[in-house]
Structure 1
Amino acid sequence: MQASAQTSANPAATTQEHAQHVTYPETRRDDVVDTEFGQKVPDPYRWLEQSVRTDKDVESWVEAQNAVTNAYLDKLPGRAWFKSEIGKLMDYQRFGIPRKRGNRYFYTYNPGLANQAQLFVRDGIDGKGRMLLDPNTWAKDGATALAGYTPSKQGKFVAYEIQDGGTDWHSVRVLDVATGKKLTDDLKWIKYGGGIEWLGDEGFFYSRFPEVPQGEDYHSLAYNQAVYFHKLGTPQSEDVKVYATPDHKDWGHYMTVSSDEHWGFIFSSVGTDARYQVHVIDLTKGSPAKGWQAKPLVDGFDNSWSLVDTVGNTAWFVTNKDAPRYQVVKLDLASATPEWTTVVAQTDQPIEGASIVGDRMILTYLKDATTRAAVYTLAGKELKDIDLGTLGTAGGFGGKPGDPETFYSFTSFTEPGTIYRLNVDTGAQSVFAKPKLTFDPAQFETKQVFYSSRDGTKVPMFIVRKKGQTGPAPTLLYAYGGFDISLTPGFSATRMAWLEAGGTYALANIRGGGEYGKAWHDGGRLANKQNVFDDFAAAGEYLKGEGYTTPHGLAIQGGSNGGLLIGASLNQHPYLFDAANAAVGVMDMLRFDKFTAGRYWVDDYGYPEKEADWKVLRAYSPYHNLEAGVDYPPVIVTTADTDDRVVPGHSFKYTARLQHLDPNGAPHLIRIETRAGHGSGKPTDKIIQEGADILGFLAYNTGLEVPPPKP
């Protein structure tokens, strides 16, 4: 591929001159060649697709690579400082958004440096918090997490999800809230959001996959998801299948139950796009023993539909049907010929979420990648904005009809989440939980700029640095660019450590995300995917051209689809970027659909078996577009042995090829975490150590010098 015009006189040079020479382990190259659409595609590292847990050769390769990486990291001058600083910055109380059930308030809590958040309950808002679950006792290494919890409607029971070692597979157990006693219920084979929805105290609906043969659970494709009802006190084998589509094994299904438990809605999907087919169940007509009848409500997979809630027979939904930035609609479920009626029309700001609280509706909008929240009547009349104070991200606003109380969190790049309690009738707000910090957020400032991409599109970018800092400084640029996911301001102790060290942080809201609705997403996927890489390169050029970063001080970082972004960007612009962290990335774009969740991603990437899509994928695939003779900048690839969403083989193959093609240049390392997955459920101590390793690497290779130890 054509290299960027942003080429220095000595592109391999950085401030540190890559003082550590790295000798990589020898990696076996097999004679594997595919012929696709008349082109021969070598794949010598296909053997690295095998699971670390079942293949001894891959296990040995991982051990050898980690040994080389650890030896390099051990010598980095800033690594210890970052570990200490991240630990200090993470040592604050973290509360989850409360969920009210009956007179009980459920929330998660981490006192600071506990590996996993605990589950607490209060009897009444002024009651004393009582711990229900402490996942820190579940595993010696702290790698077993509380992945989610759902209290029953009156708070008598709570169903909770357990995640071990970072896997996407969850199990579900049930707790009696009054006694703290664990019930005998034990459900397995739940993945990608089990969607637990209670029906009184009798039991709950959930989604699951068929049992996977032993040894295939970390690689096999997931098919035949179905909705079940589980009656408390019975084995999973007796669960009632509520909805399934055996003729369409690739369809996924989850269920949502209205607050009054009158209506159940089954949402079916075929990929990662928010395109749903919807069925409705009158839960008053049926039972766990007799089953329920699901009737079609929305046919076809054409639009996004999200239930707000129901009041009586009226149901409110958020949809992008005839409204690419979303609108609120309603219909009468009891009507013989129900018709959709617009309640809140779309505006120039995409609707991000909606809920009914009391007799009001709360809508949250995205305004240039920050949150705006407003209160409406159920008829759609706007009453007032909720005062959020400043630019940031608000989330939560859960509740139910008839109860005017809700909770929400607010966070920014420099302030961790504060939890607020809001009465939508009176507008009265109070702080439920505000963390005490070890740093002063007022010492930092955030600005938003808009820069031009290759085709002239204006792209927003946040820039965060110490207040009063005017000169260039090593800069960490982050982006994602895919799957309709919007990146908004949020706090990270790891990112704050970079800022404390004197670095600058930038977040680019490139196309492929959902920051401006459907058009922004469509502008960065499928045949338009190159726009994502162009937007990112233009962000880097802006930061250098405007003097935010130093000539050799631009580090880049991205995870998952963002890891793909980093890999492709390094191939296309190896001399623009000065150091990189590609985390849990999708690196082989010709085989991504063959593992675990990969088959869902065709909505954003396309189908490798279709020639037109294959040619687009082949043109930017990070693994396939590495070239000999290019001085790639320092790269640290990060992944984990139990990542069963983006299998680590992607990162393994990419790293092996990068090391083979550029063996004597800048360091190209891979850090492979054990007993961890795609990111969720990772214990605090692993987060701190990984953050220190990555920032230590990026700081060393961009010239960011950490502050001297404090006396």
Structure 2
Amino acid sequence: MLKLFFKLSANRRSHQTIKKTLLSQPLDHLTMSRPNASVNRPTDLSRPSVEESNARIVYPEARKDNKAEEMIHDYRIRDVYRWLEDPDSQETQRFVNAQNNISQPFLEKCEEWESINNKLTKLWNFPKYGCPMRYGSYYYYFKNTGLQNQSVLMQQETLDSPEVIFLDANSLSADGTTALSQKTFSEDGAFMAYGLSESGSDWNKIRIRRTKERTDFPETLEKVKFSNVSWTKDNKGFFYGRYSGQDGKTDGSETKQNENQKLYYHRVGESLDLDTLVAEFPEHPSWRFQTDVSECGKYLILSISHTVRDNMLYYADLKPDEAITSKLEVKPIVDKFEADYDYITNEGSKMYFHTNKDAPNYRVVVIDFENPAEANWSTLIPEHEKDVLEWAKCVNGDKLVVCYNRDVKNILQACELHTGKLIRQFGLDIGAINGISGKKKYSEIFYSFSSFLTPGIIYHYDFTKPVEKPKVLRETSLNLDGFDRDNYSVEQVFYKSADDTEIPMFIIQRKRDVVEPRPCLLYGYGGFNHSLMPSFGITGLMFMDTFDGVLAFPNLRGGGEYGVEWHNGGRLFNKQNCFNDFQAAAEYLSQNNYTTKDRLAIQGASNGGLLVAACINQRPDLFGAAVAQVGVMDMLRFDKFTIGHAWCSDYGNPNEREHFANLFKYSPLHNVHIPLNPNQEYPSTLILTADHDDRVSPLHSFKFAAALQEAVRHSEYQLNPILLRVYTKAGHGAGKPTRMRISESTDIITFLKKTLNVDCVNL
């Protein structure tokens, strides 16, 4: 959520990566849930009685503070579980322990868990590689031998030279919970500034490493969050953002709002205390900024945002021969929040930007900083009528590598920088580019391709050899006996939502002569302009192989699959469209014989966790099981915690009456119901969160789980379980060590095995 989510690997524009990180991170695609009945139930006749069900699970009674009532915009709001917003209180800790004392035994103390965990561990154990990146005298790439908790950053002098370990995050903590969260090299490649995240938190500690000696400078920069690093071209230092005024603990378990980010300049080898404050906006505490130093080194470009959508453009003149010792004079180019602008490259004062200004499907424009009025802008690559221009990258001096999204499939091309003329088409299968590296001063690029059935193929191409085709540098092979992707099918269907809008959906399953209902995992997101592209997920493959199951990925409105208009179709007052699209996907799968209700599980994370929670409130009759991971559940107060205020661009501002009324209609916490007939029974539901999630605070999941359990406690119609699992030393998803990922996937698959109607188990 916030555009600060998705890490695209390698070098895919640093501040675009940061912008897409602020809310959610869809995690390793697939996982699910269902907690009260510990036996498979192919038909209603096999369901345990209410007495039997209650004998297995007795939900903890969370205290209800009946005094927690207030009037907001003429609405009387009772927030009886607000005390769960304090993560440090003993009462909250007792609640968490009581929930884990139910969910952990249900999930983990059974033969299924051990068998599933063993199979998942074997399946996970294959080598994984990232795109090589060239900086100065070396190439770098990430490598994981299979089960290492964190991938290791390797170094080579040439692509054929012996590899050496450059930075191994596994050596930084015994339990693998310290992760390398970002890295940026100086222009000459002599230094690397890198960020470390602990226990999954968004907080970073920045260190600096000498690339030749592979040793660190003594300084550590702290209180860094939602910030990239931009080196000056003299290689002496870099710009970065810091929440220097944030008091109290900053370890990811706090709920305090993140405000008043300031921009600093750090000189290599000096103490944090000597950093120069170069820009701040105290009158706008919610503003954040990402920076780029122009290719020529003469400009500092500031991308300023306050939500997940739209940014302003400012810049400051840099004088490469003069030290930066005081605030810079920043001047506006775009002073309104009305579109997205991402810096690509520049030639002199002419700056190239990827933008959706007057182009819902994006275009590339040129802005001359010496004559920046919008009337003087020129379009280099115009907007396509249907294809969405996802990003552009300058390489080989005068080339642009551009990536389009066409009906949820990536297209990769190369164009001339000065004319925009297409000069090369890179052939791709149905799938997505999940990593790319290259620089303007280098002729070669590396890009990584993946799909639902392909873990990863890394290609190498050199623009100085235009006759040659891209070469396969590495192709990942799976460690799964008998797996042959030719035995599986990937089809894209288009189904109608409630308002007759055509929604695309990928369906993946084993090839079969006759379509018959199978266990199905339906995964959704639908928000923050994020496109849910074809990508490989180990949990999903495990689901298909173990249960002869079906995977389904609908591309809901609110995402970015068809540009700004698709995003607008599922945000603010149109947010209900996202839920309608997901529910229509479930109906399509059942009506077309892919699955049945008792075999259908839904899953979503972050904004997708909200999706799952809202849908089980609105249409519990459609689903057999639901897994809601790190979801936003209290839509009336989301803006009050950590970075939640930035999500108002997608959800609306609860402080405004009209938005409050809309949010109240679908807020999961405020729409929990008591099942009064069989059709209102909630599906088996597994709610997952973590104690160091400072993107979507676990308080959302705590309050929702407490309300759900209270609502179903005495209902004669509620036989399905409602479980809350809270993980420790983990956050929103990024940087989670392999052993935790495997354990979480095991929990989900075990939950599905115990609660869905599965008639085939291959363990």
Which TM-score band applies after superposition, normalised by the shorter structure?
over 0.9
Helix, strand or coil at the partner of 1:25: coil
Q: CA deviation digits over 1:314-344, x for unaligned, max 9? A: 3211111111110011133345878211011
Helix, strand or coil at the partner of 1:575: helix
Please give the alpha-carbon distance, in whole angstroms, between the structure 1 residues aligned to 2:46 and 2:595. Answer: 13
For residue 475 of structure 2, the aligned residue among 422, 426, 434 is: 434
* 1:12 Cα offset (Å): 10
Decide whether the 8 Å contact of 1:325 with 1:349 is kept in 2: yes
Deviates more, 1:267-276 or 1:317-326: 267-276
Letter in 2 for 1:374: Q
Decide whether the 8 Å contact of 2:392 with 2:403 is kept in 1: yes
Decide whether the 8 Å contact of 2:184 with 2:229 is kept in 1: no
Please give the alpha-carbon distance, in whole angstroms, between the structure 2 residues aligned to 1:16 and 1:285. Answer: 77
Deviates more, 1:22-31 or 1:671-680: 22-31
Q: CA deviation digits over 1:287-335, x for unaligned, max 9? A: 3235643332222111110111113333211111111110011133345
Deviates more, 1:260-269 or 1:668-677: 260-269
Superposed, 1:92-103 pairs within 5 Å as: 92-103=126-137
2:154 is matched with 120
Letter in 2 for 1:23: V
* 1:349 Cα offset (Å): 0.7
Helix, strand or coil at the partner of 1:173: strand
1:420 is matched with 459
2:511 is matched with 467
Please give the alpha-carbon distance, in whole angstroms, between the structure 2 residues aligned to 1:397 and 1:594. Answer: 36
1:385 is matched with 425
1:68 is matched with 102
* 1:15 Cα offset (Å): 6.8
Query: In structure 2, do the counterparts of structure 1 residues 452 and 197 end up closer, same or farther at CA, with 3 Å as the change threshold?
Result: farther
Decide whether the 8 Å contact of 2:294 with 2:345 is kept in 1: yes
Superposed, 1:129-208 pairs within 5 Å as: 129-208=163-242
Please give the alpha-carbon distance, in whole angstroms, between the structure 2 residues aligned to 1:255 and 1:273. Answer: 17
For residue 753 of structure 2, the aligned residue among 699, 707, 710 is: 699
1:408 is matched with 447
Decide whether the 8 Å contact of 1:89 with 1:496 is kept in 2: no
Residue 621 (str. 1) matches residue 646 (str. 2): no
Please give the alpha-carbon distance, in whole angstroms, between the structure 2 residues aligned to 1:311 and 1:130. Answer: 36
Please give the alpha-carbon distance, in whole angstroms, between the structure 2 residues aligned to 1:657 and 1:14. Answer: 29
1:366 is matched with 405
Letter in 1 for 2:510: K
Unaligned residue ranges in structure 2 (runs of 5+): 1-40
Helix, strand or coil at the partner of 1:81: helix
Helix, strand or coil at the partner of 1:85: helix
Residue 476 (str. 1) matches residue 521 (str. 2): yes
Decide whether the 8 Å contact of 1:285 with 1:292 is kept in 2: no
1:6 is matched with none
Decide whether the 8 Å contact of 1:197 with 1:255 is kept in 2: no
For residue 491 of structure 2, the aligned residue among 434, 443, 447 is: 447
Please give the alpha-carbon distance, in whole angstroms, between the structure 2 residues aligned to 1:516 and 1:328. Answer: 17
2:604 is matched with 558
Residue 354 (str. 1) matches residue 387 (str. 2): no
Please give the alpha-carbon distance, in whole angstroms, between the structure 2 residues aligned to 1:336 and 1:523. Answer: 32
Decide whether the 8 Å contact of 1:199 with 1:205 is kept in 2: no
Decide whether the 8 Å contact of 2:299 with 2:315 is kept in 1: no
2:60 is matched with 25
Q: CA deviation digits over 1:359-401, x for unaligned, max 9? A: 211110111111111111111111231112x100014343222
Helix, strand or coil at the partner of 2:117: helix
Deviates more, 1:458-467 or 1:660-669: 660-669
Decide whether the 8 Å contact of 1:592 with 1:598 is kept in 2: yes
Residue 659 (str. 1) matches residue 709 (str. 2): yes
Please give the alpha-carbon distance, in whole angstroms, between the structure 1 residues aligned to 2:197 and 2:213. Answer: 24
Pairs aligned (count): 697
Q: CA deviation digits over 1:525-556, x for unaligned, max 9? A: 11111101100000000000001113411100
Decide whether the 8 Å contact of 2:234 with 2:320 is kept in 1: no
Decide whether the 8 Å contact of 2:258 with 2:643 is kept in 1: yes
Decide whether the 8 Å contact of 2:387 with 2:404 is kept in 1: yes
1:7 is matched with none
Please give the alpha-carbon distance, in whole angstroms, between the structure 2 residues aligned to 1:81 and 1:538. Answer: 35
Query: In structure 2, do the counterparts of structure 1 residues 608 and 375 end up closer, same or farther at CA, with 3 Å as the change threshold?
Result: same
Letter in 2 for 1:434: E
2:379 is matched with 342
Query: In structure 2, do the counterparts of structure 1 residues 13 and 640 end up closer, same or farther at CA, with 3 Å as the change threshold?
Result: farther
Q: Percent identity?
A: 37
* 1:278 Cα offset (Å): 3.1
Letter in 1 for 2:600: L
Residue 303 (str. 1) matches residue 342 (str. 2): no
For residue 682 of structure 2, the aligned residue among 617, 622, 632 is: 632
Unaligned residue ranges in structure 1 (runs of 5+): 1-9
Residue 596 (str. 1) matches residue 642 (str. 2): yes
Decide whether the 8 Å contact of 1:15 with 1:702 is kept in 2: no
2:728 is matched with 674
Decide whether the 8 Å contact of 2:633 with 2:669 is kept in 1: yes
Residue 87 (str. 1) matches residue 126 (str. 2): no
Letter in 2 for 1:30: D
For residue 529 of structure 1, the aligned residue among 572, 575, 590 is: 575
Please give the alpha-carbon distance, in whole angstroms, between the structure 1 residues aligned to 2:520 and 2:312. Answer: 40
Helix, strand or coil at the partner of 1:693: helix
* 1:167 Cα offset (Å): 0.7
Residue 243 (str. 1) matches residue 284 (str. 2): no
The CA RMSD measured in Å over matched residues stands at: 2.0
Residue 684 (str. 1) matches residue 734 (str. 2): no
Deviates more, 1:605-614 or 1:202-211: 202-211
Please give the alpha-carbon distance, in whole angstroms, between the structure 1 residues aligned to 2:294 and 2:283. Answer: 28
Residue 456 (str. 1) matches residue 500 (str. 2): yes
Helix, strand or coil at the partner of 1:185: coil
Please give the alpha-carbon distance, in whole angstroms, between the structure 2 residues aligned to 1:461 and 1:91. Answer: 30
For residue 543 of structure 1, the aligned residue among 586, 589, 593 is: 589
Decide whether the 8 Å contact of 1:27 with 1:656 is kept in 2: yes
Q: CA deviation digits over 1:274-296, x for unaligned, max 9? A: 33333243453743235643332
2:33 is matched with none
* 1:152 Cα offset (Å): 1.4
Please give the alpha-carbon distance, in whole angstroms, between the structure 2 residues aligned to 1:14 and 1:322. Answer: 58
Helix, strand or coil at the partner of 1:529: helix
Helix, strand or coil at the partner of 1:473: coil
* 1:260 Cα offset (Å): 4.0
* 1:402 Cα offset (Å): 3.8
Please give the alpha-carbon distance, in whole angstroms, between the structure 2 residues aligned to 1:682 and 1:416. Answer: 19
Deviates more, 1:430-439 or 1:460-469: 430-439
Decide whether the 8 Å contact of 2:156 with 2:164 is kept in 1: yes
Please give the alpha-carbon distance, in whole angstroms, between the structure 2 residues aligned to 1:708 and 1:423. Answer: 45
Deviates more, 1:400-409 or 1:667-676: 400-409
Please give the alpha-carbon distance, in whole angstroms, between the structure 2 residues aligned to 1:590 and 1:450. Answer: 34
TM-score between the two structures when normalised by the length of structure 2: 0.88
Letter in 2 for 1:452: K
Decide whether the 8 Å contact of 2:414 with 2:424 is kept in 1: yes
2:310 is matched with 274
Q: CA deviation digits over 1:459-486, x for unaligned, max 9? A: 0001111122632101000111111111
Decide whether the 8 Å contact of 2:597 with 2:622 is kept in 1: no
Superposed, 1:37-76 pairs within 5 Å as: 37-51=73-87, 54-74=88-108
Please give the alpha-carbon distance, in whole angstroms, between the structure 2 residues aligned to 1:362 and 1:546. Answer: 41
Decide whether the 8 Å contact of 1:465 with 1:505 is kept in 2: yes
2:36 is matched with none
Deviates more, 1:575-584 or 1:659-668: 659-668
Q: CA deviation digits over 1:620-668, x for unaligned, max 9? A: 0001101113411100000001111110010001001111111253110
Residue 643 (str. 1) matches residue 693 (str. 2): yes
Letter in 2 for 1:385: Q
Query: In structure 2, do the counterparts of structure 1 residues 611 and 133 end up closer, same or farther at CA, with 3 Å as the change threshold?
Result: same
Please give the alpha-carbon distance, in whole angstroms, between the structure 2 residues aligned to 1:337 and 1:66. Answer: 58
Decide whether the 8 Å contact of 1:12 with 1:633 is kept in 2: no
Please give the alpha-carbon distance, in whole angstroms, between the structure 2 residues aligned to 1:181 and 1:148. Answer: 17
Q: CA deviation digits over 1:53-74, x for unaligned, max 9? A: x211111111111010012113
